[in-house]
Amino acid sequence: MPERSVIIGSAQGLHARPAKIFVHIAAQQPVPVSIRVGDRAPVPANSILGVLSLGAAQGTEVTLSADGDGAAEVLDELADLLSRDLDAEEPDHASTTQP
């Protein structure tokens, strides 16, 4: 199963707005994606409560994993998203162009 590790870039961490953006885009992907912090159990990336429960602050390393056709590309897209400061971006620019 492919994985990507990424450092959370949002100034306030993966809290309400960045988590909402991430979960929305993760839910649109053609493969299921999970996210975890350290050795903790992974949570579904399309679950807002699961993602918020991670308590991932700015600078926290998270690991994304996915399985299926196109998983590597999905992980690259989501890792890029999490590495950015989503709080500093305009709402229209925070999402990616892929469905």
User: Does residue 93 have an active-site annotation?
Assistant: no
Q: What are the distances in angstroms from CA 12 to CA 1, 6, 30, 59, 70?
A: 30, 16, 29, 10, 30
Pick the catalytic residue from 14, 15, 21, 66: 15
Residue 93: Cβ within 10 Å count? 10
List, by residue number, the catalytic residues. 15
